């Protein structure tokens, strides 16, 4: 039996018929705001950083894949994927790989460590085997030097991926990045009008930008060099995946374990039972945790000053004095 609470008996009811809805007569309701990537405000400008934003431009654009078998990658590439131990594609890979395989221009935004590299490398490898390409691996400055002296003309370059665009700009390489893009011939750029593109058999350049954040400079590059892009934005911009942090903790713990230390780990990925024994029962002299308060030991200096400040800041909560130690390795120097 349904009992109606006394307070509910006097509650005003807002029920109405569809025909009573007058919003269609209100001019403000005619032009509803839609999320826009390119608003010039930086970061994921205008995009709500929900789990998955997927803005398809054409009806024939492919949908996200759910597993590797659906990816239409060649058997050789699928074997490589298996060899790399990638059991399931990550969300950015699910969304971007089918688009890349159709040579669509893509703006891919996903947090650091979310697998953006395979998201653009796998379609690029598939394209290269079809086009019988040669590979040049170069640093930005050297490449630009050669290009400007016409040692390496890139007239036939038909696939450009700008990865880690935000980091390169952050590190002061904006001049080199724009320089390389400027030197690459624009004659094979896709036309602005997609109908023209369909009517022509010409090989157009595919241009993709993959980045963890979308600062204004990257946004300007995207506006200038990509055509009718599909925008895929996943997760929170600028954030590192928790998995990476947990993996780092495990690696450090194993390394210390090889020495004379009794080590245990504590992080979001650790098993509950292991966690219990870490805190009770067994005795350890080192606890490696992803969040700590008394002494923060950082093993990777990282690019973002804000993240470093945040981590180190955990030592001085509630005005307590703490200690932060940062270990630098050779990989932190370049």
For ligand ATP, the binding residues (CB under 6 A) are 86, 89-90, 93, 110, 112-118, 164, 212
Smallest distance, Å, CB 106 to ligand ATP?
14
Residue 297 pairs with which residues in a beta bridge?
325
SS3 at position 71: helix
| CB 82 to ligand ATP: min, Å | 11
Nearer Cβ to ligand ATP (42/113): 113
Report the sign of the C-alpha dihedral through residues 165, 148, 121, 94, in that order.
Answer: positive
What is the distance between the alpha carbons of residues 107 and 208, in angstroms, rounded to a whole number?
6
Q: Which is nearer to ligand ATP, 90 or 264 (CB)?
A: 90
- Kindly provide the b/e burial profile for residues 96-114, where b requires at least 16 CB atoms within 10 angstroms of the residue's own CB: bbbbbbebbbbbbbbbbbb
Q: How far is the CB of 166 from ligand ATP (least distance, A)?
A: 9
If the CB atoms of residues 183 and 233 are measured against ligand ATP, the closer one turns out to be 233
- Residue nearer to ligand ATP on the CB measure, 53 or 114: 114
Tell me which residue has tokens 């050297």.
142
Instruction: Please identify, using beta-carbon distances, which residue of 161 and 278 lies nearer to ligand ATP.
Output: 161
Q: How far is the CB of 169 from ligand ATP (least distance, A)?
A: 14
CA 33 – CA 128 distance, rounded (Å): 40
Question: Minimum distance from CB of 31 to ligand ATP (Å)?
Answer: 36
CA atoms within 13 A on the CB side of 309: 3
């Amino acid at each position: 039996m349904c009992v109606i609470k006394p307070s509910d008996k006097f509650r005003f009811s807002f029920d109405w018929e569809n025909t009573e809805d007058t919003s269609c007569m209100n001019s403000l309701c005619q032009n509803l705001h839609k999320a826009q990537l390119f608003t010039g405000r930086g970061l994921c400008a205008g995009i709500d950083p929900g789990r998955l934003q997927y803005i398809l431009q054409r009806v024939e654009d492919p949908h996200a894949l759910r597993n590797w078998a659906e990816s239409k990658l060649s058997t050789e590439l699928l074997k490589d994927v298996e060899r790399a131990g990638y059991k399931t594609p990550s969300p950015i890979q699910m969304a971007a790989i089918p688009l890349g395989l159709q040579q669509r221009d893509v703006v891919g935004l996903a947090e650091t460590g979310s697998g953006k590299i395979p998201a653009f490398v796998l379609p690029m490898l598939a394209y290269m085997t079809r086009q019988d390409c040669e590979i040049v691996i170069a640093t930005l400055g050297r490449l630009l030097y050669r290009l400007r002296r016409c040692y390496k003309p890139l007239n036939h370059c038909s696939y450009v991926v700008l990865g880690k665009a935000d980091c390169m700009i952050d590190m002061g390489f904006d001049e080199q990045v724009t320089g390389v893009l400027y030197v690459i011939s624009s004659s094979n750029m896709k036309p602005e009008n997609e109908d023209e593109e369909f009517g022509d058999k010409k090989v157009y350049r595919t241009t993709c930008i993959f980045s963890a954040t979308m600062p204004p400079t990257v946004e300007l590059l995207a506006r200038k060099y990509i055509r009718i892009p599909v925008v895929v934005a996943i997760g929170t911009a600028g954030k590192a995946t928790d998995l990476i942090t947990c993996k780092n903790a495990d690696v450090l713990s194993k390394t210390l374990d090889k020495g004379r230390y009794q080590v245990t780990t504590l992080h979001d990925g650790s098993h509950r039972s292991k966690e219990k024994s870490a805190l009770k029962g067994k005795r350890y002299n080192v606890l490696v945790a992803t969040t700590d308060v008394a002494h923060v030991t950082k093993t990777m200096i990282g690019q973002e000053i804000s993240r470093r400040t945040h981590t180190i800041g955990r030592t001085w909560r509630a005005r307590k004095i703490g200690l932060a130690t940062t270990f630098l390795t050779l990989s932190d120097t370049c």
